[in-house]
Copies of this chain bind each other. A is one copy, B any other.
Amino acid sequence: MRLPSHEDVLSAHERIAPHIHRTPVLTSTYLNGLAGAELFFKCENFQKGGAFKTRGACNAVFGLPDGRAEKGVATHSSGNHALSLAYAAARRGIPCHVVMPRGAVRAKKEAVLGYGGRVVECDPSYASREAALDRVRKETGADLVHPYDDPRVIAGQATCSRELIDQAGNLDAAIAPIGGGGMVSGTCLALSGEAPGTTIYAAEPEQADDAARSLRAGRIIADDAPETVADGLRAPLKELTWHFVSRHVADILTVSEREIVDATRLVWERMKIVIEPSSAVPVAAILKNTDIFAGRRVGVILTGGNVDLGGLPWARR
């Protein structure tokens, strides 16, 4: 296991700067009122490709030596990492192969194809995705860019929290949604180096609470393909993300499907921004746990904004 260092974060930030947006930090008087806290929303829904994943994907793709890069990159992903990798590969002009479960959000598949990526469909189970990816790599010799269990990817995601503390100033706490743990690990990596006084929380759907159970058990517990409206948060922790989560995360807060959908709608309605349900998980967690966050300055990472606008979360109830 090669751990990414704080030096890796600094060079990642320099490497990816021409290819990503320094996304804005928004505030909302209304949401501050509900939470009794001062919230700083880092809007990765405005990121290139519509999600923070473009940071890690760009760091991996642009860090490849020319000889390896020409064989392309490959990954599996339920969505955002897929299109972020396709975006990064397109910018470097190299092939990109993406293994996607058949049930993935249509808009995300179309975006991969739109960037010139190749989509290889598989069954939704995690095991099936890994098998399909193995086949693709053997065929093509492409470099594997795992969605999160990769030091290059974690160093890339860490650039998000670096920007957040630069834009929002000193924070008492930071919170991000947790699926496989890439964004949370990046947040741990960045803040342990640059803002060690900031308490780090993660937020997770009750219906996909493997990370919360892992933290309580002191070891990785993995569920296979849990069902949640927060479709970006179904992946299990892996060795590298477990390293950061187990050492630096104060608590993992869980919320119900209903709370996720309500928080999604609240952000659309009040902040006038489009976020995907995964992004609303930390918002729901803050509103559910006002005792933890009241009176504090809290950074909230809104991880992405890729939703099928034909089928809204609250219309599916």
Question: Any chain B CB within 8 A of the CB of A274?
Answer: yes
A215 to B304: give the CA distance in the assembly, Å: 44
In the assembled complex, which residues on chain B have CB atoms less than 8 Å from the CB atom of A315? 315
Which B-chain residue is minimally distant from A270 (CB atoms)? B50
Question: Any chain B CB within 8 A of the CB of A108?
Answer: no
Question: Any chain B CB within 8 A of the CB of A269?
Answer: yes
In the assembled complex, which residues on chain B have CB atoms less than 8 Å from the CB atom of A45? 272
B272 contacts A272, CB within 8 Å?
Answer: no
In the assembled complex, which residues on chain B have CB atoms less than 8 Å from the CB atom of A275? 272
Pick from B24, B265, B309: contact of A268, CB below 8 A: B309
List 24 A–B pairs whose Cβ atoms lie within 8 Å, in order of A's numbering. A24-B24, A26-B46, A45-B272, A46-B271, A46-B272, A50-B272, A107-B269, A265-B309, A268-B274, A268-B309, A269-B274, A269-B309, A272-B273, A272-B274, A272-B275, A272-B305, A273-B273, A273-B274, A274-B274, A309-B312, A309-B314, A310-B314, A312-B312, A315-B315
A190 to B17: give the CA distance in the assembly, Å: 36
Interface residues on A, range: 20 to 34
CB distance from A248 to the nearest CB of B (A): 29
Which B-chain residue is minimally distant from A107 (CB atoms)? B269
Fill in one digit per residue for A35-52: 1 if any B CB lies within 8 Å of its CB, else 0.
000000000011000100
In the assembled complex, which residues on chain B have CB atoms less than 8 Å from the CB atom of A273? 272-274
Residues of chain A touching chain B, judged by Cβ–Cβ distance below 8 Å, are 24, 26, 45-46, 50, 107, 265, 268-269, 271-275, 305, 309-310, 312, 314-315
A258 to B50: give the CA distance in the assembly, Å: 26
In the assembled complex, which residues on chain B have CB atoms less than 8 Å from the CB atom of A24? 24
A46 to B305: give the CA distance in the assembly, Å: 17
CB distance from A26 to the nearest CB of B (A): 8
A312 to B312: give the CA distance in the assembly, Å: 9
In the assembled complex, which residues on chain B have CB atoms less than 8 Å from the CB atom of A312? 309, 312
A315 to B269: give the CA distance in the assembly, Å: 17
A44 to B219: give the CA distance in the assembly, Å: 48
A171 to B273: give the CA distance in the assembly, Å: 26
CB distance from A54 to the nearest CB of B (A): 13
Which B-chain residue is minimally distant from A275 (CB atoms)? B272
The 10 residue pairs across chains A and B that have the minimum distance between CB atoms: A272-B305, A272-B274, A45-B272, A268-B274, A273-B273, A269-B309, A46-B272, A268-B309, A265-B309, A272-B273
In the assembled complex, which residues on chain B have CB atoms less than 8 Å from the CB atom of A269? 107, 274, 309
